[in-house]
Chain A
């Protein structure tokens, strides 16, 4: 639903921006997406446009000279994480990084993805998820400082 000239703005036109963040180090060991512990996610209300911007931030590293990388992305559900998936986890929607090349330190970066076609006024849940690009022992691939924002767009 687009905002057109002469439209009345209601409260739902610009619902609040939502944000969540956690510093707990995550260490994925498989190629299956997991929300981790604690989970980082936000409930949000879709604006009249049905469009929101999802921003992600994370620090990723690989602690030994292997080719495995961390992948940090997100899922959008109707209502909550038990609801139908609106936007599945997608490698291309997230962050992938091996850390700094020589000393295996965290590289902190962010990324952006627009979600469109949401039902105005409906509740959604955006959940950060992560995985490894290959099966590795715990501690080889690490993720720090996950954050997610969901910003209503026009």
Chain B
């Protein structure tokens, strides 16, 4: 892929818009499988001509007791909703995990970024934040964010 130079013609599929969503709803995390929760945090985006995009996930959470880890990740579907074909399933390694802070329900937060590739240029995709716990009901997500932007 050539670099973009001054005066070059830009077509939409080259550099579609970066998108972001965030949600500050407190969600008690009880599921031991990745779920989006009752207050979604998601985006729809257009794949660039390279078929590559960066996905950033960030969050804040509390844990009533240290031990059971919380996981925050994301999944990507073809189309405008989770009804489409799943093209990137949630994995703990594509997100964030934490096992809580000494002292109880202390809010902590940070993020992670991964690349997805092999997307169909110009196609519309749906990406959403999902979360889970490995056991127990000790965690609450307090803030979630997802950003998707095209990569060269």
Is B a genuine binding partner of A? Answer: yes
Which positions in A face B, CB cutoff 8 Å? Answer: 2-11, 13-14, 49, 51, 53, 55, 65-67, 69, 91-92, 94-98, 101-102, 109-114, 116, 153-154
Cross-chain contact A6 with B18 (CB below 8 angstroms): no
Q: Which residues of chain A are within 8 angstroms of B17 by Cβ–Cβ distance?
A: 2-3, 49, 51, 154
Q: How far is the CA of A67 from the CA of B106 in the complex (A)?
A: 7
Cross-chain contact A153 with B10 (CB below 8 angstroms): no
Known: A67-B103, A114-B18, A154-B149. 7 other contacts (CB 8 A): A8-B9, A8-B10, A9-B5, A94-B109, A110-B113, A111-B58, A112-B58
Most A C-beta atoms less than 10 A away, residue of B60, B111, B113: B111
A13 and B4 contact, Cβ closer than 8 Å, known pairs A3-B10, A154-B15? yes
| Nearest CB in chain B to that of A57: its residue | B110
Cross-chain contact B10 with A7 (CB below 8 angstroms): yes
Q: How large is the interface on B (under 10, 10 to 19, 20 to 34, 35 or more residues)?
A: 35 or more
A112 and B145 contact, Cβ closer than 8 Å, known pairs A98-B106, A101-B66? yes
B17 CB, min distance to chain A CBs, angstroms = 6
| 22 CB < 8 A contacts A-B | A3-B10, A3-B15, A7-B9, A9-B6, A9-B9, A11-B6, A13-B4, A49-B17, A65-B103, A69-B101, A69-B106, A69-B107, A92-B109, A95-B110, A96-B110, A97-B101, A97-B108, A98-B102, A98-B106, A153-B149, A154-B17, A154-B18
Among B20, B22, B104, B108, which residue has its beta carbon within 8 angstroms of that of A92? B22
